[in-house]
Amino acid sequence: MRGPTTSPQSRLEKIAQQYDTDKAVNNSYLQNYERVFAGLVDEEVRLLELGIKHGGSLLLWRDYFPRGLIVGLDINPVDLEDDSGRTHTYQGPQQDIELLDRIGHEMAPDGFDIIIDDCSHIGVLSRVSFWHLFDNHLKSGGTYVIEDWGTGYWDHWVDGVSYRPKKRSFSQSRYRVTRGLARLQQSPFLARVPLTRTILRRIKSSVVRREFNQHGYGMVGFVKELVDELCVADIAVGTGDSSVNSKFRELRIYPSHLFITKA
């Protein structure tokens, strides 16, 4: 009788066991990284990680990308022993955009291939560093990773709020109201009446909003904003502007782990 089998460790998992990094205790993160980054292993990757604690993750990436330049930022000083000359550390907060610019200009004037946010896990701070780095210091086709976005569901976290979903049952009468409002919105006659579309949109919004549980706190709220960015072409439907395109080519969401590919 055969006993349970375990999957052999990946190369990244084996490397992680050698260093002081919390990535070593989360195999799902390492498996996600291996899946996305495997094709870049032999490239001259330039990687920036925000939030490096003792620097173990920089050594992990140094070994995984043998031709890569690995850069880390942390709010506390990090004294990292590495004779390879391929790791560099900076000290400061992730929302300091002047510091982020200096790192970009000094370490990756042509842009980073990979940026990883494992820093504060606070929505408003992560948003600042994300948009500044994504727009100004990430290559086209590069990957931006956000770790631990699930903190937005934690009551004990700085900007987290516990998730208490209410049970939602289907209401035939409410659905009929929604369909009726939608038909009125499409009426050519009512479209000519001032403010009618605005009023109908607000009424329908208040009805539809009650159908679904909403949670927009902390990192969870920030991630939902990123989903909106992915869908800007759909958001623009009805405006007559067909030239609107997302800055994202792809967005992959895993439990508490997010990968965005720049268009």
Active site residues: 121
**Separation in Å, CA 104 to CA 48, 96, 119, 126:** 9, 12, 17, 17
